[in-house]
């Protein structure tokens, strides 16, 4: 079977690309490969984990968003032969294409942290990335002690999500009289709390407000869920390394093997993440294992008729739905140009991404930025909501909880540009 366009992945990127392509040319023969019958609005999982959003409302049938005229192949892609314009599939065998869009998202890579697979979503170990309902149960049952929030080295989807739930948990503990009984810590391999200066300055004040312990240069390496201990490796310069002798609030101790042991009464983490194996094992990836595309045009660097976008793309910006919103029109425009025997010369994607950083129940900061780390607030949003989105505001919370889900389900996934 041959199609003009094959789209691998029916997440945000795949569905939006299919919808916008069909709006531009409803005669195109398009196939979309996606095995899942349920589509999730994952940005709301942060709120689910804090008990302020209904998990069931984050899920809808995938079939409701397959554009009319697009062939939905409800199966897994298993590989590529890009030199011969072929996608390999689980049930349909080899499928030929004129143009290929690779957008299968990413997967959790549990085995990069020892013990994570056994500990995740059990007891007091939780993750909004995998089971936000369990996060809420852990938070509700928390009575005090060490509440540890962390993230791995390497790229993850929505890099701000691990700290969003930390702020919400801090606010929950404050509201429930647990603040004086709690050592809440955000421990990260990063060097700063956020890379964009305007946002970082706001978040540093919020960390101080909550009395949160912030420890950079710390990469999680091992979890002992049964004994409630997490082990970190210090990856920073020697002159930045604290003394871990058990005397700090967390009781962090450096062991003979160099790892730092921390007891936890609640542990939230983002698992390590990677491109799906069938992508990683192909010749479409860069040295880091992500799809090797031009960062401005999203065109593959080796195969001109292949494009990649969304979480699987090897781009030096945050992996978010907001980034996809800006990437899709560039990919669609370049595909249509190639179909007209023109060059794919749209190089307009500037790395835009955004991170809605909820900082309390009813408050949010909106971080918008480009490849260069510039703060780039959307002019229209600025006009509608608030003059400075780098500061906390209740209107931004309303945007996160109500407006963005509405726009996602009713506009973005249906191919309308927002």
Catalytic residue among 355, 357, 386, 413: 355
From CA 417, how far away is CA 409, in angstroms rounded?
A: 13
From CA 380, how far away is CA 256, in angstroms rounded?
A: 55
Establish whether 158 is a catalytic residue: yes
Q: Do residues 2 and 95 touch, judged by C-beta distance below 8 A? A: yes
Q: At what angle do helices 12-24 and 321-339 cross, to 10 degrees?
A: 40
Question: What are the C-alpha distances in Å from 183 to residues 166, 213, 251, 330?
Answer: 12, 7, 10, 46
In the block, which residue shows the tokens 């007209």? Answer: 340
User: Nearest to residue 12, comparing CAs of 353, 417, 321?
Assistant: 321
From CA 387, how far away is CA 263, in angstroms rounded?
A: 42
Backbone phi and psi for residue 338, each to the nearest 5 degrees, phi listed first:
-65, -35
In the block, which residue shows the tokens 């660097």? Answer: 301
Catalytic residue among 158, 161, 284, 365: 158
Q: Do residues 182 and 75 touch, judged by C-beta distance below 8 A? A: no
End-to-end CA gap in the chain = 34
Q: Do residues 36 and 151 touch, judged by C-beta distance below 8 A? A: no
Burial 55-64, CB ≥16 within 10 A → b, else e = beebeeebee
In the block, which residue shows the tokens 């006009």? Answer: 383
Establish whether 126 is a catalytic residue: no
CA angle, corner 312, sides to 311 and 315, nearest 5? 80
For residue 383 the two structure tokens come to: 């006009």
The CA dihedral of 57, 354, 273, 228, to the nearest 10 degrees, is -70
For residue 88 the two structure tokens come to: 């390999």
Collapsing DSSP to helix, strand or coil, 173 comes out as helix
For residue 214 the two structure tokens come to: 């912030």
Residue numbers annotated as active site:
158, 355
């Amino acid at each position: 079977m041959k199609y003009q366009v094959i789209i691998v992945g029916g997440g945000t990127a795949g569905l939006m690309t299919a919808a916008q392509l069909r709006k531009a040319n409803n005669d195109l023969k398009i196939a979309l490969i996606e095995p899942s019958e349920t589509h999730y609005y994952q940005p709301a999982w942060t709120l689910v984990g804090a008990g302020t959003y209904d998990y069931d409302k984050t899920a809808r049938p995938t079939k409701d968003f397959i554009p009319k005229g697009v062939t939905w192949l409800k199966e897994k892609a298993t590989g590529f032969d890009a030199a011969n314009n072929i996608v390999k599939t689980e049930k349909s065998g080899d499928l030929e294409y004129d143009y290929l869009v690779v957008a299968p998202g990413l997967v959790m890579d549990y085995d990069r942290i020892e013990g994570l697979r056994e500990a995740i979503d059990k007891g007091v170990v939780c993750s909004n990335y995998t089971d936000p309902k369990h996060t809420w149960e852990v938070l509700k049952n928390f009575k005090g002690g060490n509440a540890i929030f962390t993230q791995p080295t390497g790229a993850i989807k929505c890099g701000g999500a691990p700290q969003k739930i930390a702020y919400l948990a801090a606010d929950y503990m404050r509201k429930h009289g647990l603040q004086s009984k709690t050592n809440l810590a955000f421990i990260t391999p990063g060097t700063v709390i956020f890379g964009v200066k305007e946002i970082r300055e706001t978040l540093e004040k919020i960390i101080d407000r909550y009395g949160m312990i912030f420890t950079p240069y710390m990469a999680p390496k091992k979890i002992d869920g049964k004994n409630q201990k997490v082990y970190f490796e210090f990856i920073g310069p020697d002159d930045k390394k604290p003394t871990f002798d058990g005397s700090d609030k967390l009781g962090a101790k450096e062991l003979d093997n160099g790892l730092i042991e921390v007891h936890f009464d609640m542990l939230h983490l983002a698992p390590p993440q990677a491109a799906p194996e069938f992508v990683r094992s192909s010749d479409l990836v860069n040295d880091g294992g992500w799809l090797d595309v031009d960062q401005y045009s999203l065109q593959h660097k080796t195969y001109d008729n292949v494009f990649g976008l969304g979480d699987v793309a090897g781009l030096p910006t945050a992996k978010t739905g907001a980034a996809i919103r800006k990437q899709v029109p560039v990919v669609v425009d370049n595909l249509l140009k190639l179909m007209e025997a023109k060059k794919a010369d749209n190089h307009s994607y500037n790395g835009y991404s955004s991170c809605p950083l909820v900082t309390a129940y009813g408050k949010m900061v909106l971080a918008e930025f480009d490849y260069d780390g510039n703060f780039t607030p959307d002019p229209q949003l600025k006009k509608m909501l608030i003059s400075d989105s780098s500061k906390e505001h209740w209107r931004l919370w309303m945007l996160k909880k109500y407006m963005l889900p509405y726009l996602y389900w009713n506009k973005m996934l249906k191919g309308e540009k927002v």
